[in-house]
DNA sequence: TTAGGCATGTAAAGTGTTACATGATTTG
DNA sequence: CAAATCATGTAACACTTTACATGCCTAA
């Protein structure tokens, strides 16, 4: 599933313009499926060309015409088909973890900053996500809940295991501490 | 941090050929930074051209020459510099969650399959990861522990909240269940 | 005898990110 | 008066993914 398909899915809920979709991405998808204008606008153009959506242009003063896209029947079908296609992926790409992997090459101050910054971001995103946990559909709620729980687990892990990497006392760094998963 | 930099980092631990690096990616980075031959071989070629690594060709019978790469001093410096550059990203892109977001458009059987498949994958990756939790460096252990804990949280969430989406009794689907994060 | 491991790579296609370009109105 | 919001898009770049291409050796 690419940005194009996701746009189609959102348009199957309600009609919208590119700008609206971007806001939806920001509020509901940011933490697991980010997309910017550079993906959304071309996606809409493609969908329109394939006649999976219609476009109605609403003139405005002082702004570009607002292009409101509405899904077509062909679009509905295409979306349902996409929803049933092949096992959906779930991919993480973490420069953060890759960096931490080499913790022994990073000085304590920098390392502490990295860990703190990540925890802070996680806490922020938990705030964001919690705001839409009571969202429109069960699916939206489930996904938001998932994000919140996973982020919470990540933050807690970092806080409770940071001693493995950064010690107030520098000697701790050389002690090989047994990690217990649970 | 891209695949190129990660290869450089791995070569700063020990010399290796592309094939070896791929195996390391599979065993240690797969769950948070996947990479295939199509990324690794070009990365090595680039690193060699930039003289951040040297290459020694070892002739073999019945196989292509084994090209063993070893990091140079310039490479070590470049890697340390990369490790200290800008806040590292941590990006998730989940077609799975995007699909589940539209759960109300998916029939119960398919939905149950999706959830089951994901839980199974998570359990598998927990197995994988646990195997390298006592790895060489504190950083490697920390990262493995992180992966295991987060995957466990994800699996548990799916199991304990699947009733939000899939009901043995189909009526449950329409009841809007309040999600509690904790 | 067949599957899997060892070992290299290229080329094209697909996708997303970032930066650029424009500009009025509203809010603090 | 500055910053944010509304509103569109393109173009270049970066990067990864996938498919292709080759071929021997070993273990089950």
Q: Is there a domain that residue A179 lies in?
A: no
Domain span at residue A139 reads: 95-168
**CATH number for the domain that contains residue A62:** 1.10.10.10
Out of A87, A103, A150, the one facing B139 most closely (by C-beta) is: A103
Give yes or no: residues A70 and A20 share one domain: yes
Using one digit for the tens of pLDDT, what is the confidence trace for B143-172? 999 999 999 999 999 999 999 999 754 444
Query: Residue A86 region, left (φ>0) first, then alpha (ψ -120 to 50), else beta?
Result: left
> Structural domain tally of chain B?
2
Sign for the pseudo-dihedral over CA of A14, B111, B176, A131: negative
Predicted local distance difference test score (pLDDT) of residue B87: 85
CA A90 to chain centroid, in Å, comes to 11
Contact state of A83 with B98 under an 8 Å Cβ cutoff: no
Using one digit for the tens of pLDDT, what is the confidence trace for B9-58? 999 999 999 999 999 999 999 999 999 999 999 999 999 999 999 999 99
Q: Report whether B167 contacts B69 (CB < 8 A).
A: no
d(CA A51, CA A73): 9
The pairing of beta strand A66-71 with beta strand A90-94: unpaired
Give yes or no: residues A108 and A158 share one domain: yes
Give yes or no: residues B107 and B79 share one domain: no
Q: Is there a domain that residue B125 lies in?
A: yes
Q: Is there a domain that residue B179 lies in?
A: no
Q: Is there a domain that residue A177 lies in?
A: no
Q: Is there a domain that residue B143 lies in?
A: yes
Instruction: Strand C proximity: list residues 45-84 of A with CB under 7 Å.
Output: 61-64
- A91-118 as b/e: b if 16+ CB within 10 A: ebbbbbbbbbbbbebbeeeebeebbeeb
Most A CBs within 10 Å: which of B121, B179, B180, as the mutation test of the A interface? B179
Q: On chain D, which bases lie within 7 A of the protein's CB atoms?
A: 6-12, 14-19, 22-25
Contact state of B106 with A96 under an 8 Å Cβ cutoff: no
pTM of the shown model:
0.90
Out of A32, A94, A100, the one facing B142 most closely (by C-beta) is: A100
Q: Is there a domain that residue B180 lies in?
A: no
Which residue, counting CA atoms, is nearest to the C1' of nucleotide C18?
A38
Give yes or no: residues B47 and B99 share one domain: no
Give yes or no: residues A62 and A103 share one domain: no
């Amino acid at each position: 599933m690419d940005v194009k398909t996701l746009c189609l899915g959102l348009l199957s809920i309600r009609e919208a313009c590119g700008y609206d979709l971007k806001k939806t991405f920001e509020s509901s998808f940011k933490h697991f499926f980010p997309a910017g204008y550079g993906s959304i606008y071309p996606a809409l153009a493609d969908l329109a060309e394939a006649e999976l959506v219609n476009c109605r242009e609403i003139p405005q003063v002082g702004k570009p015409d607002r292009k409101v896209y509405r899904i077509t029947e062909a679009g509905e079908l295409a979306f349902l088909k996409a929803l049933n296609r092949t096992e959906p992926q779930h991919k993480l790409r973490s420069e953060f973890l890759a960096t931490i992997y080499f913790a022994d090459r990073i000085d304590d101050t920098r390392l502490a900053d990295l860990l703190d910054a990540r925890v802070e971001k996680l806490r922020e995103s938990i705030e964001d996500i919690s705001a839409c946990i009571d969202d429109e559909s069960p699916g939206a709620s489930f996904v938001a809940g998932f994000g919140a729980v996973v982020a919470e687990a990540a933050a807690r892990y970092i806080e409770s295991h940071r001693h493995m990497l950064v010690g107030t006392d520098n000697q701790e760094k050389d002690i090989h501490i047994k990690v217990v998963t649970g």
